[in-house]
Chain A
Amino acid sequence: GENVEQHPSTLSVQEGDSAVIKCTYSDSASNYFPWYKQELGKRPQLIIDIRSNVGEKKDQRIAVTLNKTAKHFSLHITETQPEDSAVYFCAARPPGGYSTLTFGKGTMLLVSP
């Protein structure tokens, strides 16, 4: 089955800095890679996703890059703000009607004012 590794487990940055979270996956057939943000006590919320037919996707301050050859994908947050503080989970999913998301272990991002 799919295995997703996520690093770092904790990331502390100053407000205005950039933050990068990296994930690697094991199943070369995986073709869908979402990122979820979960604030303390709240639900995971999809913030951005990427499919294997593109290498990069951007939405305002958030971008995701995908390297299929190396089987890794990364989340980039620029101009971080205190409200970006949360746990971020990456996930990967192979194709197929019965495939499910495999999550990374999560990264706690702390943005200090």
Chain B
Amino acid sequence: DTEVTQTPKHLVMGMTNKKSLKCEQHMGHRAMYWYKQKAKKPPELMFVYSYEKLSINESVPSRFSPECPNSSLLNLHLHALQPEDSALYLCASSQEEGRNIQYFGAGTRLSVL
């Protein structure tokens, strides 16, 4: 099973809302990633968690707050977003950070009004 599951598939939120994106994998992977992808562009790395600890934050604004409650789950909490934050948010996982193949989830398409 190489499944990374993301919910919700679509999300529309206002600039004052608070929402969360969820990502789950049951492959026993110990590294999980959040990427942001704009149309016709490559994925941009936002955060990396390794063994449930944040190991990389690519200078992401504080209105994005990641959380890794356990080795299978990764959340991205959103607050006071801007319209330019509208994008496809992809979660990925790999056996370990910096090694092995990354498997992507289907993404959450976020629209900020």
- The reply on B56 being an interface residue by CB < 8 A is yes
- The reply on A46 being an interface residue by CB < 8 A is yes
Q: Which residues of A contact B103 (CB under 8 A)?
A: 46
- Of the four ranges (under 10, 10 to 19, 20 to 34, 35 or more), the interface on chain B belongs to 20 to 34
CB pair A105 B42 closer than 8 Å: yes
CB pair A98 B97 closer than 8 Å: yes
- The reply on B66 being an interface residue by CB < 8 A is no
Mask, A55-97, CB within 8 Å of B = 1, is 0000000000000000000000000000000010100010111
Which residues of B, 25-52, contact A by the 8 Å Cβ criterion? 40-43, 45, 48, 50
Q: Which residues of A contact B101 (CB under 8 A)?
A: 34, 46, 49
Which residues of A, 90-113, contact B by the 8 Å Cβ criterion? 93, 95-101, 103-106, 108
- The reply on A44 being an interface residue by CB < 8 A is yes
Total A-B residue contacts, Cβ distance less than 8 Å: 49
CB pair B56 A100 closer than 8 Å: yes
Mask, B71-101, CB within 8 Å of A = 1, is 0000000000000000000100000111101
CB pair A96 B42 closer than 8 Å: no
User: A7: shortest Cβ distance to chain B, in Å?
Assistant: 14
CB pair A44 B98 closer than 8 Å: no
Name the residue among B42, B90, B96, B105 with the largest chain A CB count within 10 angstroms: B42
CB pair B42 A97 closer than 8 Å: no
Mask, A20-46, CB within 8 Å of B = 1, is 000000000000001010000011111
Q: Which residues of B contact A43 (CB under 8 A)?
A: 90, 104-107
User: A111: shortest Cβ distance to chain B, in Å?
Assistant: 18
Interface on A for B, CB 8 Å cutoff?
Answer: 34, 36, 42-46, 49, 87, 89, 93, 95-101, 103-106, 108
Cβ-closest 8 pairs across A and B? A103-B42, A43-B104, A99-B98, A97-B98, A43-B106, A44-B104, A89-B42, A106-B42
Q: Pick 9 A–B contacts, CB within 8 A, sort by A.
A: A43-B106, A46-B102, A97-B96, A98-B48, A98-B97, A98-B98, A100-B45, A100-B56, A101-B45
